Amino acid sequence: MDELQDVLKQHAMIMKATTALFYGILVSIAMNFFWEPGHIYSSGITGLAQLIGTLTKNCPVHLSTALMLFVLNIPLFVLGWRQIGHRFTLFTILAVFCSSVMIKAINPVPLTKDPIICAIFGATINGFGTGLALKNGISTGGLDILGLTIRKHTGKSIGTINLIFNFFIILAAGEVFGWPYAFYSALSIFINARVMDMVYTKQQKMQVMIVTTKPKSVIDCIQNRMRRGITIVHGAEGAYKHDEKTILFTVISRYEQPELRRAMIESDPAAFVSIADNVHIMGRFYEPEP
């Protein structure tokens, strides 16, 4: 059993390292093939690194986007190491390092300079890479670490900080390249966020209602697979056969939906299960440590 757990841990680490490398390749393609040729800025720390790279392009010391992407993340690595976890931070460092190296190593290929095409395709590629990295339990650095730290201590997100930071990036794009490019960058940031949400589903909450005649079996099976609280409503009655049933309520993330399906097949395949998407949560919702 211990040997199996060691093999699974090694497999998980290899998967995370491979994902970090794959993310680095995707972000470099987005940057070198689309964003840079189209004068489009990304969101967060990546956008700030682009801005510094643009402003120092004609200076005696040019601070490249690849270099600044890693340098600007160093304080956040320290924060992640102290507040989140060592393994999580090591894989984050690997992901950011791969990104910086790949942006420098892969030669830019300007497929088009159309800013709308560059905004859409660059954001789609980067959003997919970021979502994939988060789905596999690694961060891509930047404001992710700050957000995880704040959420860990307060249970709140940093939506306002993200909004202000990205608004600054959009204004910078307008000042440097002209105001139409501010709108193109805003479009890119929006698409990047939407694609990332489509791939990374852990933050999407779903309310589950289960009508069952085997409540104990269902509860035990769900809680063995997922750390989720369940509310029990006794004394329900089926309108067709008038048999006694129990209603169970819980909230899961979309990422856990396959586990819920397996738990229901194992515990009560005849149960009626209703799932509502995009519910809003007030209070703390357990999320596993990264």
Give the per-residue pLDDT at 119: 94
Q: Give the CB-side neighbour count of residue 122, counting CA atoms within 13 A.
A: 36
Per-residue pLDDT tens over the stretch 104-149: 998 888 788 899 999 999 999 999 998 888 878 788 887 777 777 7
Q: Is the domain of 249 the same as that of 231?
A: yes
Give the per-residue pLDDT at 287: 62
Domain that holds residue 171: 2-199
Would you say residue 286 lies in a domain? no
Q: Is the domain of 139 the same as that of 233?
A: no
| Mean pLDDT in residue range 187-201 | 83
Would you say residue 14 lies in a domain? yes
Distance of CA 40 to the CA centre of its chain: 21
Q: How many domains does the chain divide into?
A: 2
Would you say residue 281 lies in a domain? no
Q: Is the domain of 212 the same as that of 189?
A: no
Per-residue pLDDT tens over the stretch 18-73: 999 999 999 999 999 999 999 899 888 898 999 899 888 888 888 999 999 999 99
Nearest-angstrom CA–CA distance, 227 and 199: 22
The sign of the dihedral angle between the CA atoms of 262, 253, 15, 35 is positive
The sign of the dihedral angle between the CA atoms of 284, 264, 258, 16 is positive
Say which CATH number the domain at 261 has. Answer: 3.30.70.120
Would you say residue 140 lies in a domain? yes
pLDDT band (50, 70, 90) for residue 102:
very high
Would you say residue 43 lies in a domain? yes
Of 153, 173, 199, at which residue does a domain stop?
199
Q: Is 274 helix (H, G, I), strand (E, B) or coil?
A: strand
Give the per-residue pLDDT at 208: 92
Of 183, 199, 215, at which residue does a domain stop?
199
Would you say residue 288 lies in a domain? no
| Full 3-state SS string of 88-155 | HHHHHHHHHHHHHHHHHHCCCCCCCCCHHHHHHHHHHHHHHHHHHHHHCCCCCCCHHHHHHHHHHHHC
Per-residue pLDDT tens over the stretch 199-229: 876 666 788 999 999 999 999 999 888 888 8
What the block records as the tokens of 59 is: 């200076």
Of 199, 226, 244, at which residue does a domain stop?
199
